[in-house]
Structure 1
Amino acid sequence: MKKKSGLMLTAMLSLGMLLAGCGSEEGASSGGGSSEEGKTFKVGMEAGYAPFNWTQSDDSNGAVKISGNAEYAGGYDVEIAKQIAEDLGMELEIVKTEWDGLVPALNSGKIDAIVAGMSPTAERKETIDFSDHYYTSELVMVVKKGGEFEGASTLADFNGAKVTAQLNTFHYSVIDQIEGVSKETAMESFPAMRVALESGIIDGYVSERPEAVSASAANENFAMVEFTDGFETSEDDTAVAVGLEKGSEFTEQINETLAGISEEQRQEIMDTAIQNQPAAQ
């Protein structure tokens, strides 16, 4: 009996030690570290809207590789996205997406955020959330240098002009504010509008100031028209923000990141982006 009791006691002690070991291991695996560590933060953008975002062939000037692509994305939006991902403790992944596909990609879970020079318009807010603004600009017109509209300063000066803007943007809707304008079919991208302007298909296109500066810097045949009497817009129309899924877990942290970037720093990032843009963009 003594021998059997001794064997039973030994077995019970061994079992207890085994269970204790399992408990310690479980506690170690569940403690410490960020819950996002090792995850990717998937950001959607056109990579065709310089200086906010563009496509290039290498990683120069801090460009980030585009997912599933041999090319890289650079620009103002990329720099903002890099800072956001760093603060989240996640690895940035750029997902190149056509403009019309950005919101569907976000709502389907293909991307975590839109960082693409997108304005938080009332219409968009019906389907997605937005962060605080990370850039604010004014609307201008891009025209042919030396053409009849280069000296324009008011909307009235574009009476009879052939004008367009990007498809599914508020830029296109404000053209209606120009009396007597010839409102041309909206175009899918800014590169397409630049080609149309170069070839004379249009006399001008509506844009934000950074893109217009970028366009005139990239092509000596383009000029930017800034208005003394311009378009009527809301603050949200002329601002850009990060697009997020309704109720996104990232909103609060992203707003903290954006709050830490001063207006001076934002302008420095934009000025650098304009300088670094590829000539073809």
Structure 2
Amino acid sequence: MRHFAALAFTVLASLAHATSLEAIQKKGEIVIGVKDSSPPFSMMDTKTRALKGYDIDFALGIAKRLNVKPVFKIVESDDRIPHLKNDTVDIVVADLTRTAEREREIDFSVGYFVTDDRILAKKGRFKSEADLAGAQIAVTATSSTSKKMKKNLPNTPQVEFEDKPEMVKALLAGSVEGVAADGPVLAAFLSRMPAAQRAQYEISDFAIEIKTIAVGMQKGEKKLQEAVNLALVDMENTGEAVTIFNRWFGPQTAMPMMRIFKISNRRF
């Protein structure tokens, strides 16, 4: 009887796991893990208290194409994968870099943004990657940036923080010599500094990592993965993805970038 009960539980769990897309659509809502302090990808509007940003626009686009209501849940960087594995959220759209290590734990959509990691620091402090040796650099705990630096820059001490605003505060206070993060995110923080203060800092010309940002979901959720991929590709084909990119990274923004990628079913 115990064996039968265990087998029945396993079968039911497997069925529940295999039909998550149907469960989401039946419920009529999708719980999306997002950040609230990672501009321009996601941030809380101080006036309206509404979330906005590149990630938020894509999360809304996915929910619209799945014909369900988006329910946002704020997550910290080191909570993104645990929330997925614990069924706290259905998907994560939170500046999540796709890496081989993470792909052993969760599944990813096709990429919807390609970026690089750089260093924010006092002007002239880091002219090349070699200057990072021995320098204390602020990183987000458990981030792909931190792991990449530990592997490729073992002589660069890391100081871990839970979120990027705290990292920038530490830099301004002189507690660390630099902040490592997405180039666009660093540009956003730099642009928000008072002019006199901003004139003292710069973002490194060199990149320490090129990375693809994608939507995360539980391992084995093939139907959900396919639906999210179709949504992202449709956003590209209809021009919505380009509109979102220009809204946050276009010529009129504080951090203009050239769009060097196109969302497609082909991995990049």
- Judge same fold: TM > 0.5, yes or no: yes
Q: Which moved more, 1:85-94 or 1:106-115?
A: 106-115
Cα distance in 2 for partners of 1:189, 1:107 equals 21
Report the equivalent of 2:40.
51
Cα distance in 1 for partners of 2:154, 2:107 equals 34
After superposition, what is the alpha-carbon deviation per residue over 1:59-102, rounded to whole angstroms, capped at 9, x for unaligned?
A: 4xxxxxxxxxxx42111110000000000000111101222222
Report the equivalent of 1:92.
70
Report the equivalent of 2:217.
244
Aligned with 2:100 (options 100, 122, 140): 122
Report the equivalent of 1:253.
227
Query: What is the DSSP-based 3-state SS (H/G/I as helix, E as strand, rest coil) of the residue aligned with 1:138?
Result: strand
After superposition, what is the alpha-carbon deviation per residue over 1:182-237, rounded to whole angstroms, capped at 9, x for unaligned?
A: x132111101101001101111111111111111111143421121xx43x5x6xx
- With over 3 angstroms needed to count, the CA separation of the structure-2 counterparts of 1:113 and 1:106, relative to structure 1, is same
AA at the equivalent of 1:242? V
Cα distance in 1 for partners of 2:67, 2:75 equals 24
- Kept after mapping to 2: 8 A contact 1:48/1:190: yes
Query: What is the DSSP-based 3-state SS (H/G/I as helix, E as strand, rest coil) of the residue aligned with 2:246?
Result: helix
Return 5+ residue gaps in structure 2 as ranges. Answer: 1-22, 256-268
Map of 1:58-77 to 2, 5 A cutoff? 58-59=47-48, 71-77=49-55
Cα distance in 1 for partners of 2:186, 2:234 equals 27
- Kept after mapping to 2: 8 A contact 1:45/1:99: no
After superposition, what is the alpha-carbon deviation per residue over 1:130-161, rounded to whole angstroms, capped at 9, x for unaligned?
A: 100010011211113xx441xx3420133342
Cα distance in 1 for partners of 2:34, 2:244 equals 19
2:8 maps to 1:40: no
Report the equivalent of 1:17.
none
Report the equivalent of 1:173.
147
Return 5+ residue gaps in structure 1 as ranges. Answer: 1-33, 60-70
In the TM superposition, residue 250 of structure 1 has moved relative to its aligned partner by: 1.9
Cα distance in 1 for partners of 2:158, 2:24 equals 50
Report the equivalent of 1:140.
118
Cα distance in 2 for partners of 1:258, 1:153 equals 37
Report the equivalent of 2:174.
200
AA at the equivalent of 2:98? P
AA at the equivalent of 1:256? L
Report the equivalent of 1:64.
none
Query: What is the DSSP-based 3-state SS (H/G/I as helix, E as strand, rest coil) of the residue aligned with 1:124?
Result: helix
- With over 3 angstroms needed to count, the CA separation of the structure-2 counterparts of 1:135 and 1:111, relative to structure 1, is same
- Kept after mapping to 2: 8 A contact 1:114/1:243: yes
- Kept after mapping to 2: 8 A contact 1:113/1:242: yes
Query: What is the DSSP-based 3-state SS (H/G/I as helix, E as strand, rest coil) of the residue aligned with 2:140?
Result: coil
Cα distance in 1 for partners of 2:47, 2:30 equals 21
Please tell me whether Structure 1 or Structure 2 has the larger radius of gyration of its CA atoms. 1
Report the equivalent of 1:225.
204
Cα distance in 2 for partners of 1:75, 1:267 equals 10
Cα distance in 2 for partners of 1:246, 1:178 equals 31
Cα distance in 2 for partners of 1:100, 1:81 equals 20
- With over 3 angstroms needed to count, the CA separation of the structure-2 counterparts of 1:267 and 1:35, relative to structure 1, is closer
Give the alignment's TM-score, normalised by structure 1.
Answer: 0.71
